[in-house]
Amino acid sequence: MLQISIRSIRQAIAAGALTVATSIVFAPLAQAVEIQRVVSEKGVEAWLVEDHTVPIIAVNFSFKGGAAQDPEGKQGLNRLLASTLDEGAGELTSEDFQARLEDLSVSLGFDTGKDYFYGSLRTLKPNLSDAFDLLRLAINEPRFDQDAVERMQSQIAVGIRRRERDPDSIASRNLLKVMLGEHPYALRTSGSEESLMALTAEDLAAQRKRIFARNNLRIGVVGSIDAATLAPFLDKVFDGLPEVGDLKPVPTLTAADGLEVEASLPVPQAKLVFALPALTRNDPDYQAAFVMNHILGGGSFTSWLYEEVREKRGLTYSVGTSLSPYDAGGLLIGSAATRADRADETLAVILKQFERMAEDGPTQAELDDAKRFLTGSYPLRFDASGKIARQLVALQNADLGIDYFDRRNSEIEAVTLADVKRVAKRLLAGKTPSISVVGPAGG
């Protein structure tokens, strides 16, 4: 426990050294973001937003190959890999590596989603070379020492056990299982405690070799660095990786609608999670669906669901929907929490709004309000270096083009009432969301 606490403190110190500067410096970038395509001498590409207001540099990157690439029976492997890459690398033990990050005020982290494995680096400009060297070690020479692996397994297992008692997690997991069956997206990213604890250092090393490849790599860099300085660092960190990864194809997502699943849990409220098949990000109707979803349930205080479920009837404190576009398919997912004895009433009101959207669609005024909000709030995604770097990677993963920041608001503005009504019928007409309910027995 002492090692865990020390590591947490060190990470907080490193992150804290960068927070104030990064939160202030990038406010001007909300007005105009100029992206440069940087290609190193050895062919490693990154997208760069250059700003020298303060000496901060943020690097985000991804490899295609998230938790959906976990081998059968080894669920949780990508999650464990993300947790162990900075637990010692090269000649540095876990304690030495973490101490070095702290001494340099460097923030380094890794994570995994369903489709992509992510990494991030935050550093002060004077420490740039040392920071990139630590990143190079973590990616190319992780140690996977037994004590470090076991410590991370124990930490992740605590989270697994906690989620086993959490109604939100249970409801979401049950919904994905009933909708998606054995599809990799339905499996827990952290795996089960049994599958997690059976993983070995050899499993981690093999997974790293399969996923970490240059053809799967996307990089975004923001801050006080120019293209000429960045390019050799890209080679320093990434050139030693294999050219091509060894990824298995992820099956096209086939999601079932109209199914129901319930689970009993001794909690005060019932948790409701519901979903329908939706769109991938490259679907021509995606922006229209995005606007439609904002009106239906995505707008925090203005959506139909918020008005009908909370404001008019007081059935819940929070209700909403969102689009989840994965590489192999998409979902429209929503949730709410309510008194157990009013769960049926709450669901009925929610389903009524789905029917209303499919049959009638919004008014022109509602569409205009939604587009005004979505275009006006877009600059908030660019008020910190880390946010911008993540956006640069997301654009590349979705193949949206280097000019997307300039096009995005015009694409939202171009959505018409006919577009929204068409996509509403496409996604909602004649369909009932699959529903997962978790709450007290007999509620």
Percent of the residues in the chain that have a pLDDT greater than 90, as a whole number: 90
Q: CA-CA distance, 335 to 351, in Å (whole number)?
A: 12
Asked if residue 76 has pLDDT above 90, the reply is yes
Would you say residue 298 has pLDDT above 80? yes
At 114 the pLDDT is 97
Beta bridge partners of 231: none
Please indicate, yes or no, whether the overall pTM of this predicted structure exceeds 0.85: yes
Say what the pLDDT of residue 315 is.
Answer: 96
pLDDT at 28 over 70: no
Residue 400 pLDDT > 90, yes or no?
A: yes
The arithmetic mean of pLDDT across residues 278-307, rounded, is 96
Per-residue pLDDT at 381: 82
pLDDT, tens digit (0-9, with 9 covering 90-100), for 57-72: 999 999 999 999 999 9
Rounded distance, CA 39 to CA 364, Å? 46
Q: How is 283-319 classified by DSSP, letter by letter?
A: STTHHHHHHHHIIIIISTTTSHHIIIIIITT---S-E
Q: How far apart are CA 7 and CA 137, in angstroms?
A: 18
Q: Over the stretch 239-262, which tens digit does the pLDDT of each residue have?
A: 999 999 999 999 999 999 999 999
Look-up of token digits 């927070």: 19
Inter-helix orientation angle 146-163/77-84, to 10°: 130
Residue 3 clears pLDDT 60, i.e. is over it? no
Burial of 41 from C-beta contacts in 10 A (0-12 / 13-18 / 19+): exposed
- 224: amino acid identity, one letter: S
Range 202-223 average pLDDT: 98
- What's the pLDDT at 33? 78
pLDDT of residue 314: 96
Give the model's confidence band at 383: pLDDT under 50 very low, under 70 low, under 90 confident, else very high: confident
Residue 21: band (very low, low, confident or very high) from pLDDT cuts 50, 70, 90: very low
Band (pLDDT 50/70/90 cuts) for residue 443 is low
pLDDT of residue 18: 53
- Per-residue CA distances from 188 to 142, 168, 174, 282 (Å): 25, 14, 11, 25
Question: Mean pLDDT throughout 216-231?
Answer: 98
pLDDT of residue 380: 84
User: From residue 429, how far is each of 177, 358, 361, 366 by CA, in Å?
Assistant: 23, 5, 11, 20
292: confidence class by pLDDT, cuts 50, 70, 90? very high
pLDDT of residue 81: 98
Run of H or E including 222:
strand 217-223
pLDDT the model gives residue 27: 42
Q: Where are the domains of the chain?
A: 2-17+29-238, 260-439
Chain-centroid distance of CA 436 in Å reads 22
Q: Do domains 2-17+29-238 and 260-439 have the same CATH topology?
A: yes
> pLDDT tens-digit profile of 102-150?
999 999 999 999 999 999 999 999 999 999 999 999 999 999 999 999 9
- Mean pLDDT value across the chain: 93
Which CATH number is 2-17+29-238 given?
A: 3.30.830.10
Looking at per-residue pLDDT, the higher value among 342 and 24 belongs to 342
Indicate if the pLDDT at residue 89 is higher than 80. yes
The pLDDT, as a whole number, for residue 368 is 98
Is the pLDDT at 341 greater than 80, yes or no? yes
What's the helix, strand, coil split of the chain in %, to 5? 50, 20, 30
Q: At what angle do helices 286-293 and 364-376 cross, to 10 degrees?
A: 100
Taking 90 as the threshold, does the pLDDT of residue 333 lie above it? yes
Report yes or no: 332 and 274 within 8 Å, Cβ to Cβ. Answer: no
What count of residues does the chain have?
A: 443
For the domain 260-439, what is the CATH code?
A: 3.30.830.10
Sign of CA dihedral 294, 172, 178, 345: negative
pLDDT band at 442 (very low <50, low <70, confident <90, very high): low
Question: Is pLDDT above 80 for 11?
Answer: no
Residue 167 pLDDT grade (very low, low, confident, very high; cuts 50, 70, 90): very high
Whether 1 has a pLDDT exceeding 90, the answer reads: no
Q: What is the mean pLDDT of residues 175-204?
A: 97
CB 402 within 8 Å of CB 47: yes
The partner residues of 48 in beta bridges, in order of sequence, read 36, 221
pLDDT at 17 > cutoff 70: no
Residue where the block lists tokens 């709410």:
336
Helices of type H across 165-318: 167-180, 193-197, 201-211, 227-238, 286-293, 304-305
Q: Does residue 29 register a pLDDT over 50?
A: no
